[in-house]
Amino acid sequence: MTHQHDLSGQPEGEVNFGFEDLFFSRTDRRGVILAGNDVFQRVSGFAWAELLGAPHKIIRHPDTPRAVFRILWDALGGGHPMGGYVKNRARNGDYYWVFAVILPTDEGFLSIRLKPSTPLFTQIGAVYADLAARERTERLDPGDSARMLWTTVTEAGFTSYTTFMASALGQELAARDTRLGRPADPRTRRLIEMNDALERVTQEQKKLLRSFEALQSIPNNMRLVASRLEPSGGPVSAISENYRASSLVISDRLRSFVSGRENLCDRVSRQVARALFLLGANRVLAEMIASFRQADPVAGVDWPMEAEKLGRARDLTLQESRTALASAVGHAEELARSSAEIRRLMLGLDTIRVMGRVECGRLRENGTGLVATIDQLDLFHAEIKTRLETILRLSEQIGGVMNRFVAGDLQG
Q: Are residue 244 and residue 386 in the same domain, yes or no? A: yes
Mean pLDDT of the chain: 84
Residue 278 within any structural domain of the chain: yes
Q: If you average pLDDT over residues 200-205, what whole number do you get? A: 78
Residue 51 within any structural domain of the chain: yes
Q: If you average pLDDT over residues 204-218, what whole number do you get? A: 78
CATH number for the domain spanning 114: value is 3.30.450.20
Sign of CA dihedral 285, 291, 293, 298: negative
Q: If you average pLDDT over residues 208-223, what whole number do you get? A: 78
Q: Are residue 349 and residue 238 in the same domain, yes or no? A: yes
For residue 326, pLDDT over 90 is answered with no
Q: Are residue 305 and residue 199 in the same domain, yes or no? A: yes
The confidence score (pLDDT) of residue 412 equals 46
Q: Are residue 232 and residue 336 in the same domain, yes or no? A: yes
The confidence score (pLDDT) of residue 260 equals 61
Whether 258 and 202 have beta carbons less than 8 Å apart is answered as yes
Alpha carbon 386 to chain centroid distance? 25
Residue 162 within any structural domain of the chain: no
The confidence score (pLDDT) of residue 261 equals 59
Residue 166 within any structural domain of the chain: no
Reference 73, options 169, 7, 155, 143; nearest CA is: 143
Which range is least confidently modeled, 110-119, 262-271, 302-311, 379-388? 262-271
Q: Are residue 5 and residue 97 in the same domain, yes or no? A: yes
Residue 341 within any structural domain of the chain: yes
Whether 324 and 345 have beta carbons less than 8 Å apart is answered as no
For residue 178, pLDDT over 80 is answered with yes
Which of 101, 131, 156 finishes a domain?
Answer: 156
Q: If you average pLDDT over residues 63-89, what whole number do you get? A: 92
> How much of the chain, in percent, has pLDDT values that exceed 90?
36
Q: Are residue 145 and residue 199 in the same domain, yes or no? A: no
Q: Are residue 384 and residue 262 in the same domain, yes or no? A: yes
Q: Are residue 140 and residue 10 in the same domain, yes or no? A: yes
The residues that bridge with 298 in the sheet, in sequence order, are 301
Reference 301, options 55, 19, 7, 33; nearest CA is: 33
Whether 273 and 167 have beta carbons less than 8 Å apart is answered as yes
Residue type at 315?
D
Phi-psi region at 22: left, alpha or beta (left = phi > 0; alpha = psi -120 to 50) = beta
Which stretches within 139-183 are classed as H helix?
142-155, 161-179
Residue 401 within any structural domain of the chain: yes
Most confident of 148-152, 311-315, 319-323, 406-410: 311-315
Which of 111, 134, 156 finishes a domain?
Answer: 156
For residue 228, pLDDT over 60 is answered with yes
Whether 66 and 128 have beta carbons less than 8 Å apart is answered as no
For residue 28, pLDDT over 50 is answered with yes
Q: If you average pLDDT over residues 355-364, what whole number do you get? A: 79
CA 400 – CA 192 distance, rounded (Å): 14
Q: What is the pTM of this model?
A: 0.78
Q: Are residue 147 and residue 253 in the same domain, yes or no? A: no
For residue 398, pLDDT over 80 is answered with no
For residue 353, pLDDT over 90 is answered with no
Whether 27 and 56 have beta carbons less than 8 Å apart is answered as yes
Question: Which secondary structure element, helix H or strand E, spans residue 100, and what is its range?
Answer: strand 95-104
305 compared with 156, residue with greater pLDDT? 305
Whether 377 and 289 have beta carbons less than 8 Å apart is answered as no
For residue 156, pLDDT over 70 is answered with yes
Half-sphere exposure of 410 (CA within 13 A, CB side): 25
257 compared with 39, residue with greater pLDDT? 39
**What are the pLDDT digits (tens) for 261-279?**
567 777 777 888 888 899 8
For residue 11, pLDDT over 60 is answered with no
- Length in residues, the chain: 412
Angle of CA points 285, 287, 291, to nearest 5°: 115
Q: Are residue 218 and residue 361 in the same domain, yes or no? A: yes
CA 53 – CA 30 distance, rounded (Å): 11
Measured in degrees and rounded to the nearest 5, phi and psi for residue 157 equal 105, 5
Burial string for 13-27 (b: 16+ CB within 10 Å, else e) reads ebbeeeeebbbbbbb
Residue 176 within any structural domain of the chain: no
Alpha carbon 151 to chain centroid distance? 13
Which of 127, 156, 185 finishes a domain?
Answer: 156
Q: If you average pLDDT over residues 8-23, what whole number do you get? A: 80
Q: Are residue 136 and residue 201 in the same domain, yes or no? A: no
Domain of 4, in residue numbers: 1-156
The confidence score (pLDDT) of residue 262 equals 60
**What are the pLDDT digits (tens) for 92-128?**
999 999 999 999 998 899 999 999 999 999 988 889 9
Reference 306, options 287, 281, 289; nearest CA is: 289
Angle of CA points 363, 367, 371, to nearest 5°: 120
Domain count, the chain: 2
Alpha carbon 2 to chain centroid distance? 29
Q: Are residue 235 and residue 371 in the same domain, yes or no? A: yes
